[in-house]
Amino acid sequence: MQIADHSLTARQHLLVSLCAGFAIAPHTLHVPLPISLFLIFLFVWRLTALRYPQFQPGRWLLVLTTLGGVILTFSQYHTLIGRDAGVGLLTVMMILKILEVRRRQDLYVAVFISYFVIITHFLFDQSMVMALYLFSVMVCLTALLIEINRIKPSATTLEPFVRTAIITLQAIPIAIVLFVIFPRLSQPLWNLGIGSSGTTGLSDRMTPGQIAELIESPEVAFRVSFVTEAPAAEQRYWRGLVIWDTDGHSWFNRKDQVRERHMQLKAHGEHSYEVFLEAHQQRWLYALDVPVSSKQRFRLSQDLILQRREPVRQSLTYQVRSTTEQQNKVVMPGMLQRALELPDNVTQRQFELVEGWRANAKSPREIVELALSHFNKQPFVYTLTPPRYLDNPIDQFLFNAQEGFCEHYATSFTQLMRIAGIPTRLVLGYQGGEYNELGDYFIIRQYDAHAWTEVWLEESGWLRVDPTAAVAPERIRFQLRNDFGTEGSPAMFQLDELGLVGSNLRRFAHMLDNANIQWRRWIIGYSREHQFSLMRNFGFDTLTPLQWSLITIGLIAVPLLLVALRLVLSGRKQPLPEIIAYDRFCKKLARQGISRKTYEGPMDYAKRAIGERPDLTAPISRITALYIKVRYGPNADKSQSKRLLQQVRQFRPGRQKPGT
């Protein structure tokens, strides 16, 4: 049942094209270039056809274009299903739909597809800015629907937006209720085949120079909010993954060595915290050295790496307990052998260097100390822009250039200790982090990436040794400053000596980041676990589907009833104050037996009342005259209606009896 089908005006045609264009726009950045160009071409075509109708494609041309669009999509993705291809196809289909919008019915379809396209953006970008942008597009689309549903166009552009705002504000409580209470699945309904896109971050194969590249990126790796007291900067080693094997050039883990077995540490971690991890397309999760347990029951491997079954493709929130005490005595068969394996390109001078330490040391611990003091005393330079070591990087670094970054120190130290017969492994992760006072959490960025070593000592187990700290202890205690000198210049460290502008800027940045983390924590990171803990707070352990439905309906009904009440009341007219006053006057007279007839005007009524009660002549005529003046006279103001009310209040016909 449709109102007499009035077709769309040129303005509405233009608006729907623009709104739908805005809804698609961000996708042009991540669909392949030919598809982007196709989208832009069709969009321009549409705008041209709106201006010059002779360019509007006929039916056959549309069919051909549609076919072309499908073929183009298929040629780019070699499939039409899956996330990326699906989005590509959706955008192509949508722009084609815009091209052929003629009637109201088409406009609805175009708007609804736009709504759908809006949520597909969240597969690529979940930032607050994007959400705000898409929210505005959604409001525009809705305002457009409101506009085409009226008969006459709105007087102002603002009007449909005001109406949309009212409806949206009323819908928000319902949306929040549903968002909080709607059950979340921990597994997807079906396999998604999300393609991994390149993200910066550590990878499971480390070649010296790789971390130095990361150092250029201020991108956030993860954020950490401590429940218990946060450890000091020099204790904040964020463990990512452990690397055992090397070929003399790169460091990696050989695939054939299965080392994943779930293990449970008995220790109670004294640090409890929540991590907000950005998607990094890897399976390992960052945790404070050494993780003990996680609320989400992630696997903890033998080398104490927290792992997930699936790569982290979307930002993830999890809770971990860690201990900073070095009581890591986990050792498995073959583990120490593996921690002693050397590559083929170990040179003679490396053996000689280590031999010198062995001669002077009584215990492995002393060898470690001698090695560290070697790094300290020799003219080693800690730099963000080390020269490129192409052939046998460790040897060149140790004996030729002696300029390097944490990874160079960590890898060489690892290798030297293995030569000395001390089992060692390389740990990759992050170190430090910037504290955000506003939100009481740490921001760990890509430039905090770090590599260090763990050595096996009989008496203490796996012990963290950071050779970088021996060269540049500031690296561990302060933030790296993100500006780069010329090649080989020593790295600068950021001390808390910012000027007024600098500190305000930093404050502002922290504020933004805090908003971001709250966004992540409560919106993007809202999960099954949050839901369960919320339910427990309200005293429910589990909910049957029936209970769940009843609660949902109840919680939605309340805001809906309020909206209904508001809608009904908002149109109701408040009678004018002078009418209220006059009504009261009439009631007072009616109590004296002189009730006003429906056909009687105020003057006639007054005449009749005075005739019956001559003693009340003065007040009746005064009140009636004032009422007529306020109600019907020109230039009536509020003070006069107030005066009327006052006079009516003082009017007490019952006090004076007639004839007395």
Partner 1 sequence: MTRSALYRWFRQFRRQAKPDSYGGVTVKARSIYILPTKQGLLLAVVLLAMLVGSINYGSNLGHLATFLLGGIWITTILHTWRNLLGLRLQPQYVDAVFAGESADFCLSLINPSNLDRFAITLKQKKNFGDSLDIPNNEQLPIHLPLVSKKRGLFKLPQITLHTTYPLGLFHAWTYAEIDLSCLVYPKPAERGDPPVTESYTKSSSGDRGVGSDDFVGLRTFRTGDSPKQIDWKAYARQQGLMSKQFGGDRHLEITLDWDLIPEQEPERRLSLLCRFILQQEELRHAYAMKIPGLSIASGLGSGHMQKCLSALARYGLADADR
Task: Kindly state whether residue 501 participates in binding partner 1, applying the rule CB under 8 A.
Answer: no
Catalytic residue, candidates 271, 408, 450, 510: 450
Helix (H) or strand (E) segment spanning residue 252 = strand 251-252
Nearest alpha carbon to residue 26 among 119, 152, 139, 165: 119
User: In angstroms, what is the minimal distance from the CB of 59 to partner 1?
Assistant: 23
Query: What residues form DSSP beta bridges with 429?
Result: 239, 450
Q: Side-chain half-sphere of 453: how many Cα atoms within 13 Å?
A: 31
Task: Kindly state whether residue 188 participates in binding partner 1, applying the rule CB under 8 A.
Answer: yes
How many Å apart are CA 104 and CA 583, to the nearest integer?
Answer: 51
Task: Kindly state whether residue 184 participates in binding partner 1, applying the rule CB under 8 A.
Answer: yes
How many Å apart are CA 603 and CA 616, to the nearest integer?
Answer: 15
- 391: annotated active-site residue: no
Nearest alpha carbon to residue 319 among 363, 273, 351: 273
Task: Kindly state whether residue 11 participates in binding partner 1, applying the rule CB under 8 A.
Answer: no
Peptide bond into 290 cis (omega under 30): yes
- 450: annotated active-site residue: yes
How many Å apart are CA 378 and CA 120, to the nearest integer?
Answer: 56
512-517 long-range contacts (CB < 8 A, ≥24 apart) are: 513/220, 513/223, 513/436, 513/439, 513/443, 514/436, 514/438, 514/439, 515/128, 516/127, 516/128, 517/223, 517/225, 517/276, 517/436, 517/439, 517/441
Task: Kindly state whether residue 546 participates in binding partner 1, applying the rule CB under 8 A.
Answer: no
How many Å apart are CA 330 and CA 648, to the nearest integer?
Answer: 93
Tell me which of 44, 71, 172, 495 binds partner 1, using CB under 8 A. Answer: 172
User: For partner 1, what does the binding mask look like between residues 46 and 85, x meaning CB under 8 A?
Assistant: -------------------------------------x--
Stretch that binds partner 1, among 121-129, 329-337, 439-447, 547-555 (CB under 8 A): 121-129
User: For partner 1, what does the binding mask look like between residues 138 and 157, x meaning CB under 8 A?
Assistant: x---x--xx-xxxxx-----
C-alpha distances (whole Å) from 583 to each of 579, 586, 587, 609 are: 6, 5, 6, 15
C-alpha distances (whole Å) from 658 to each of 436, 438, 655 are: 84, 78, 10
Task: Kindly state whether residue 314 participates in binding partner 1, applying the rule CB under 8 A.
Answer: yes
Tell me which of 500, 546, 568, 618 binds partner 1, using CB under 8 A. Answer: 568
What sections of 226-311 are H helices per DSSP? none
How many Å apart are CA 179 and CA 158, to the nearest integer?
Answer: 30
Tell me which of 178, 498, 509, 579 binds partner 1, using CB under 8 A. Answer: 178
Tell me which of 4, 258, 359, 390 binds partner 1, using CB under 8 A. Answer: 4
Nearest alpha carbon to residue 411 among 485, 365, 482, 345: 345
User: In angstroms, what is the minimal distance from the CB of 172 to partner 1?
Assistant: 7
Please tell me the chain's helix, strand, coil percentages from 3-state DSSP, rounded to the nearest 5.
Answer: 50, 15, 35
Catalytic residue, candidates 84, 395, 466, 513: 466
Tell me which of 190, 258, 352, 618 binds partner 1, using CB under 8 A. Answer: 190
User: For partner 1, what does the binding mask look like between residues 221 and 250, x meaning CB under 8 A?
Assistant: ------------------------------
- 406: annotated active-site residue: yes
User: In angstroms, what is the minimal distance from the CB of 77 to partner 1?
Assistant: 18
Tell me which of 32, 57, 82, 173 binds partner 1, using CB under 8 A. Answer: 173
Burial of 214 (0-12, 13-18, 19+ CB in 10 A): buried
Closer CB to partner 1, residue 175 or residue 603? 175
What would the two tokens of residue 652 be? 């007490």
Tell me which of 76, 168, 307, 494 binds partner 1, using CB under 8 A. Answer: 168
Closer CB to partner 1, residue 64 or residue 175? 175
Task: Kindly state whether residue 119 participates in binding partner 1, applying the rule CB under 8 A.
Answer: yes
What would the two tokens of residue 55 be? 């360019």
Closer CB to partner 1, residue 145 or residue 438? 145
Tell me which of 41, 182, 399, 540 binds partner 1, using CB under 8 A. Answer: 182
Interface residues with partner 1 (CB under 8 A) are 1-4, 83, 105, 108-109, 112-113, 115-116, 118-120, 122-123, 126, 131, 134, 138, 142, 145-146, 148-152, 163, 167-168, 170-176, 178-179, 182, 184-185, 188-190, 192, 194, 314, 523-526, 556, 560, 563-564, 567-568, 570-573
Residues marked active site are found at 406, 450, 466
